[in-house]
Amino acid sequence: NAGVTQTPKFQVLKTGQSMTLQCAQDMNHNSMYWYRQDPGMGLRLIYYSASEGTTDKGEVPNGYNVSRLNKREFSLRLESAAPSQTSVYFCASTQLPGLAGEQFFGPGTRLTVL
Amino acid sequence: GDSVTQMEGPVTLSEEAFLTINCTYTATGYPSLFWYVQYPGEGLQLLLKATKADDKGSNKGFEATYRKETTSFHLEKGSVQVSDSAVYFCALTGGSYIPTFGRGTSLIVHP
């Protein structure tokens, strides 16, 4: 079991460029999440997918789009990157959202936008 | 809405010292409570959890007790090691799909 995998691990973009962050889980989990982590801000939820075929906005969705490609994969797209999107991005999944539902996190993608 | 408040860090300790990281929460109903740990350069991983009042979660020498009367879930360890240096996040899940995380507390343990 690989758990939650993310690609790429590191990325440098120029302002205005686009890119897609990939996330996959092999635990047959129903719900998947994208967070960003910035110094002093903790984790902030960007988007989540409660189940295959559904996606919803989190706390900070502006500038991002997501696709729940199938039950395993949940991608995050930056259409026109901005320096404010420099951050560490984490994907997470859970089998039991809500009570008792621990989250499993990927290793993160470290993104720098110049 | 739900919220989690953690003590601000960094917490700096010498090896073998006693650790407490405070966590209090606000939530409707009866949430489940979690502590996650994040080692440098890695994602978060579950350290321990408790799903009902008075439950004690424990793992790797760390403990936390779900106190509904004080809405708290403080993390403790009797003797910390250098390898415990990390960021610790308190979190809760209630009836929705979205968990609530605290801002994290950095722990630095010196030899």
Q: Closest Cα of chain A to B30: distance in Å?
A: 9
Reported as type and span, the H/E element at residue B89 is strand B86-93
Could you tell me if B56 lies within 8 Å of chain A, comparing CB atoms? no
User: Taking a contact as any Cβ pair under 8 Å apart, which residues of chain A between 47 and 86 contact chain B?
Assistant: 48, 50, 56, 58
pLDDT, position A1: 75
pLDDT, position A98: 58
pLDDT, position A56: 95
pLDDT, position A23: 98
B-interface mutation test, from A25, A51, A105, most B Cβ less than 10 A away: A105
* Average pLDDT score over residue span B92-111: 91
pLDDT, position A97: 61
* Average pLDDT score over residue span A42-65: 95
Higher pLDDT, B84 or B98: B84
Average pLDDT value over all residues in chain B = 95
Residue B68's Cα: distance from chain center in Å? 15
Q: Predicted confidence band at B94 (pLDDT cuts at 50, 70, 90)?
A: confident
B-interface mutation test, from A102, A104, A109, most B Cβ less than 10 A away: A102
pLDDT, position A99: 59
Q: Closest Cα of chain B to A97: distance in Å?
A: 5
Whether residue B97 has pLDDT greater than 80: no
Whether residue B96 has pLDDT greater than 90: no
